A and B are shown apart, each in its own frame.
Chain A
Amino acid sequence: MRPRDTLLLGSLAALVFAGCGGPSERPVERALAEGHESEAWALARAAVQATPDSAAAWRDVAHAALRTFRTPEGVEAAAKAGELAPEDWRARLLAAELDQRRFRNVAALAAAERATELAPDDVRPWIALGTLRFGGGMVGTAEPELAESAFRQALERDPESPRARFGLAKALVLAGRDEEARPLLDAILAADRADAAPADAWYQRGLLRMRARDHEGAVDDFRRAVAMEPGDPAAWFNLGRLLPRLGEPDEAKAALARGDAARERSERIHSLEVSWHSNADTGSGLTLVSAWRDAGRLGEARRLAETLVEDRPQVPPVHLELAETLLQLDDPAGAERAAQRALDLNAQNLRARWVIARARVAAGDPAGALEVLGEENVGSEDVRIASVVGAASTALGRPEEGERLLSLALARAPERTDWLIDRARARIAKGAGESAEGDLRAALRSDPESIEAMRLLADRLESNARADEAADLRRRADRTEQEHEAARAAREREWRHDFLSH
């Protein structure tokens, strides 16, 4: 290590260990609590290099690694922390969570159990143990009775703990003790901040209602669950099989199809997660970012993309995955910066140009979009290029050209919602309202929760004196937007939650 680095690390280490009176005073933990994962990782790495015999420093590395999806590094750091301080229960909990990520169920349970022995009065190890006892798809660990016991221990230590209360309720549902579970779930869902309850709480109460043959109530709860977590195949599935009993076979079919898609997606994500958390290879990391993004898990996708960028900055696709994710997070400026880094590494990278062009269209700079694509590409028959040139052309007042290019793109991907919406805009601009309406309805068939399609269609209906239908659609759009916001906030909370949080 060069002396300058050593000096820098020394000063960072001093910063890290300045005042260790409580968790919030520790810079790494504070950075994590505030959602500054990159900063936390840098601080933790610096500190451990300066003070390699500090168990707390290794534990901070493990914690930052957990939150930045650097699982192998985290495992190593947690083990080191455990060696240096065998009584450090926090290190055990981190080890448990990191092992859970790698689907090392037995090791995870052993670590969590040890944490309960080391800190029997703290609620967190008990919640971790109960959570692990649900199995989570890991062979040999699903033990509802032991989960219940752990959550009861947690509640003795903190009777108000929302996670312990929900964990207990879920354990009781799993064990078929519905009469005990129901009041717990009712209380959780009736709380002032019912929106803060996990989607799973709605799902679990839906199960209880389904078991009690309260089909309407169950459908209400499953609808709430999928609104908050559209990637939950179980909630879609149960919605799909109950709706025919309420005389809604068409909606049932759609729900079952959504459930199938969600199941396929979650199985794919599961195998990518196993691969990434075990091997941390770039290919599975990139694919996992994309899969998380497609599943709406944008916070995790962004975080992993940032980790890939930090650790492998010379690999152009990692910048592009980050850029694509930022585009979905409505951050076109950030997306353009990220894609530009890929372009800097390889000026021939057409995908980078395409992403920058999309970012510029989103930012209201269609001319800039065409400029970055370059004349030689603007005429390309590549559907991705055609789609973005089409959107830019519309924005530049050439809707005929926009419609033509988007039609070209849609011929290859007729259900692509964003392209349908872009073509609808082109058609509206050229006065072909009827065909625009067709595009928007097709977009809604493809994605029934597309707020943009709902609002554009509502505008269109209003201009055609179909005010009632338009008002319905606007209400639906507003409701969906609220649900999406709540779901996004819940997902953000959830992925940042770990066994040390409480």
Chain B
Amino acid sequence: MASRLSLALIATAGMVAGVASAEPALRDVSAECGIDFVHANGATGGKNYYEVMGSGVALLDFDGDGRLDVYCVTCVGPNRLYRNVGEFRFEEMPGAAGAADEGYGMGAVAADADGDGDPDLYVTNFGANALYRNDGGARFVRVTAGAEDDRWGCGASFLDYDRDGVLDLYVVNYVQCAVPDTNVCPTEDGHRLYCGPRRYPRAADVLLRGLGGLRFEDVSEKAGVAGVAGRGLGVIAFDADRDSWPDLYVANDLDPNFLFRNLGDGTFEEIGILSGVSHSEDGMEESGMGVAAGDYDRDGWLDLFVTNYVNETNTLYHNEGDGFFLDVSAMTGVGPSSLPWISWGTEFLDWDLDGWPDLLVVNGHTESEPELVDPTTTWKQRGFLYRNVGEGRFEDVTQSAAPALLVPQASRAAAFGDLDDDGDVDVLVQAQNAPLLVLRNTTADANWIGVSTRGTRSNRDGVGARVEVHTGDVTLVRERQAGGSYLSSNDPRLAFGLGTVAAVDSVVVAWPSGTRSVLRAPEVGRYHEIVESED
């Protein structure tokens, strides 16, 4: 199919910082980048369960200047927005440009929900969620859209499940919990602890169908996602079976995780158990927190990674391509190393641009004084950066490549995006009651190519588009997603590391509408905007 391609250059590189090989790739630039955000969970010793979960970060270009801005959610106080002014510097926008939500903040996800060319913002709260319409003038306006939900909202993901060109929204609700939380869980020697999730009744998730014009209707029942309930925290929309219909994966806390297979007729079928992604390899319900979907072994099928609790592995499910997934956490090395930690934000990120998606995981205990009951652990915990060494193995390279992650924090969210438009992924880590950790990726000497998608027949952002980069025998695959990791929303653009490969044969975009765009022999080292054909 002929495609009209607009090859607008969003940003040229030119800002790649050459670094000596001894320098870590991911450097802590929190103190010098201008972001002074400090998260606050408001805990005062009352052990209200909602204090445990932390808050997320959304990356979006809210003012349309081509640079990725940063929206930080907090539990107590207003959420804050930082505008990227270039050179890895940020300035706070007063009143978060209208999105200074003051709910007890959980997550945020950004996408052009009304299709007017700028990203809108959906904020989940412990309490009513909020939708902010971007009015195009670098201002947000809170709107009533039928997406407000006064339960305990956590992860959220935009998707176009019915492929009608209008974005829909899946919102994960966690549990039912009173304010203040009346549950008390003391230890044998009288210390008060947060109660575990099983103390609280589940809250059902909700699927909202976009009607256009920022209006939504609740189709949870009709679409078949209301028949099961779990204590959900994370969600990601991705095409698990490559039938072009976006499926949904929900990470539940001490409940089986859900894989909702999109049947293409407006309904979903929950197939978590039979597809192998609901439990651990040992058949245990795990404490799902964060989720990522990526093709770590470059076989063309998106795999799943779920972060979990201490004494559970973080679980990597390999997509076998026949409707089944295989738990490869042990074989790949990411499982055993995660056993002592409680893990949250995560993503498949090719931080070293070698063409193999790597993994980053941030950790932190739910209890602020866990050592009272378990001297082997602490509230603040180190994070992990893994390098995908191919052959289905990952190795821990935190010490050499991201030593800032070794500094213990009670981390929760992590958001991933190219803040300086140099092709490599920078990382933001949100920890409980701590300043935002900003890690600048200074990987040099590797080729890359970036893609942003603009739908015409499909939704405006191209959410759900499958992007393939073909170089010789290798095909790199990513999907345009809106919402993932833990309570967060990553860079809407897709960057692909090419290692030493200096030329790309083609970039192919399979749009949600069913059309395809092909960009042949594109220039590497820059972002390309690919616009869907209107034919």
A139 and B283 in contact, given A106-B374, A175-B330, A211-B328 (Cβ under 8 angstroms): no
Give A387 to B330 CA distance when docked, in angstroms.
51
Secondary structure of the A contact surface, majority rule: helix
Could you jot down 9 A-B contacts, CB within 8 Å? A139-B311, A174-B330, A174-B336, A175-B336, A176-B331, A176-B333, A178-B331, A241-B273, A241-B324
Give the complex CA separation of A210 and B329 in angstroms. Answer: 13
Among A106, A145, A211, A263, point to the contact of B326 (Cβ < 8 A). A211
8 Å CB contact of B311 from A106, A138, A256, A263: A138
Task: Say yes or no: is B137 at the interface (Cβ < 8 Å to chain A).
Answer: no
Q: Which 8 A-B pairs have the closest CB atoms?
A: A237-B283, A176-B330, A140-B376, A234-B283, A234-B282, A176-B331, A142-B339, A144-B336
Q: Count the A residues whose beta carbon is within 8 Å of the partner chain — how many?
A: 36
- Residue B224 at the A interface, CB < 8 A? no
Q: Interface centre among B311, B326, B335, B377, by most A CB within 10 Å?
A: B311
For B325, the closest partner residue in chain A by CB is: A241
Q: Which residues of B contact A235 (CB under 8 A)?
A: 283
Which residue of chain B lies nearest to A262 when distances are taken between CB atoms in the complex?
Answer: B283
Q: In the assembled complex, which residues on chain B have CB atoms less than 8 Å from the CB atom of A211?
A: 326, 328, 330-331
**Quick one: which of B298-350 are within 8 Å of A by CB?**
310-311, 320, 324, 326, 328-333, 335-336, 339-340
Q: Is A284 an interface residue (CB 8 A)?
A: no
Say if the beta carbon of A129 comes within 8 Å of chain B: no
Chain A: residues with CB nearer than 8 A to chain B? Answer: 105-106, 135, 137-145, 173-176, 178, 207, 210-211, 213, 233-238, 240-241, 244-245, 252, 256, 259, 263, 278
- On whether A252 and B281 interact (CB within 8 A), knowing A140-B311, A176-B333, A176-B335, the answer reads no
Cα(A137)–Cα(B312), bound, Å:
9
A235 CA to B283 CA, complexed, in Å: 8
Query: B82: shortest Cβ distance to chain A, in Å?
Result: 37
Pick the contact of A135 from B281, B320, B339 — CB < 8 Å?
B339
Inter-chain contact B282/A139, CB cutoff 8 Å: no
Output the nearest chain B residue to A207 by Cβ-Cβ distance.
B281
Q: Is B324 a contact partner of A245 (Cβ separation < 8 A)?
A: yes
Residue with the greatest number of chain A CB neighbours at <10 A, chosen from B282, B324, B374, B377 = B282
Contact flag A142-B311 (CB < 8 Å), given A176-B336, A238-B283: yes
**C-alpha gap A143/B310 in the complex (Å):** 11
Q: CA separation between A20 and B212, bound complex, in Å?
A: 87
B387 CB within 8 Å of chain A: no
> Which residues of B sit under 8 angstroms from A278, Cβ to Cβ?
188
Are A237's CB and B336's CB within 8 A? Answer: no
Contact A106 B339 (CB under 8 A): no
Q: Is B45 an interface residue (CB 8 A)?
A: no
Name the B residues within 8 Å of A178 (CB-CB).
Answer: 330-331
* Chain B residues, CB < 8 A from A176: 329-333, 335-336
Q: Is the C-beta of B274 less than 8 angstroms from some C-beta in chain A?
A: yes
Residues of chain B whose beta carbon lies under 8 Å from any beta carbon of chain A: 188, 273-274, 276, 279, 281-284, 310-311, 320, 324, 326, 328-333, 335-336, 339-340, 374-377
CA distance A238 to B335 in the complex (A): 18
Beyond known contacts A138-B311, A211-B331: 8 more, CB 8 A cutoff: A105-B374, A137-B311, A139-B311, A141-B311, A143-B340, A178-B331, A207-B281, A238-B281
Known: A140-B376, A142-B311, A241-B273. A233 touches B283 (CB 8 A): yes
A278, B340: Cα distance in complex, Å = 25
Inside 8 A of A142's CB, which chain B residues have their CB?
311, 339-340
Query: What's the Cα separation between A142 and B374 when bound, in Å?
Result: 13
What is the minimal beta-carbon distance from B466 to any residue of chain A, in angstroms?
A: 25
Nearest CB of A to B151, in Å:
27
Q: How far is the CA of A175 from the CA of B281 in the complex (A)?
A: 13
A256 in contact with B273 (CB, 8 Å): yes
Q: How far does the alpha carbon of A139 sit from the alpha carbon of B274 in the complex, in Å?
A: 29
The answer to whether A140 and B374 touch across the interface, beta carbons within 8 angstroms, is yes
Q: For residue A231, give the distance in angstroms from its CB to the closest CB of chain B.
A: 13
How far apart sit A92 and B159, CA to CA, in the bound complex (Å)? 58
Given A145-B336, A176-B330, A241-B273, A140–B310 Cβ distance below 8 Å? yes
> Shortest distance in angstroms between A30's beta carbon and chain B's nearest beta carbon?
37
Of chain A, the residue at the smallest CB distance from B283 is A237
A141 touching B274 by the CB < 8 A rule? no
Contact, CB under 8 Å: A259 / B283: yes
Q: Which of these, A138, A207, A240, contacts B273 with CB under 8 Å? A: A240
Complex CA gap A138/B340 in Å reads: 11
- Whole-angstrom distance between the Cβ of A174 and the nearest chain B Cβ: 6
User: Are A244 and B283 in contact, CB atoms less than 8 angstroms apart?
Assistant: no
Which partner residue on chain A sits nearest B335 by CB separation? A176
Q: Is the CB–CB distance between B283 and A236 below 8 Å?
A: yes
Contacts of B284 in A (CB 8 A): 234, 263
Which residues of chain A are within 8 angstroms of B339 by Cβ–Cβ distance?
135, 142-144
A138 to B320, CA, bound (A): 32
* Docked pose: A102 CA to B332 CA in angstroms: 34
Q: Are B311 and A135 in contact (CB under 8 A)?
A: yes
Query: CB-nearest residue of chain A relative to B282?
Result: A234
Most buried by B among A175, A176, A244, A256: A176
- Contacts A176-B336, A241-B276, A252-B274; A139 near B374 (Cβ below 8 A): yes
Pairwise interchain contact B375-A106, C-beta atoms closer than 8 A:
yes
What's the nearest-Cβ distance from chain B to residue A205, in Å? 14
For residue B274, give the distance in angstroms from its CB to the closest CB of chain A: 6
Instruction: State how many angstroms separate the Cβ of A340 from the closest Cβ of chain B.
Output: 40
Whole-angstrom distance between the alpha carbons of A236 and B374 in the complex?
A: 32
Q: Give the contacting residue for B377; candidates A140, A143, A252; CB below 8 A.
A: A140
The reply to whether B310 and A139 contact each other, CB–CB distance below 8 Å, is yes
CB pair B311 A237 closer than 8 Å: no
Q: How far is the CA of A323 from the CA of B310 in the complex (A)?
A: 41
Bound state CA distance, A21 and B335, in angstroms?
A: 48
In the complex, chain B residues whose CB is within 8 Å of the CB of A263: 283-284
Residues in A whose Cβ lies below 8 Å from that of B375: 106
How far is it, in angstroms, between the C-alpha of A140 and the C-alpha of B311 when the chains are bound? Answer: 6
Q: How far is the CA of A39 from the CA of B276 in the complex (A)?
A: 50
Q: Is A106 a contact partner of B376 (Cβ separation < 8 A)?
A: yes
Per the bound structure, the CA–CA distance linking A491 and B273 in Å amounts to 29
A residues less than 8 Å from B273 (CB atoms)? 240-241, 256
State whether A140 and B283 are in contact (beta carbons under 8 Å apart), knowing that A174-B330, A178-B331 are contacts in the complex: no
CB distance from A314 to the nearest CB of B (A): 29
Say whether B340 contacts A140, CB under 8 Å.
yes
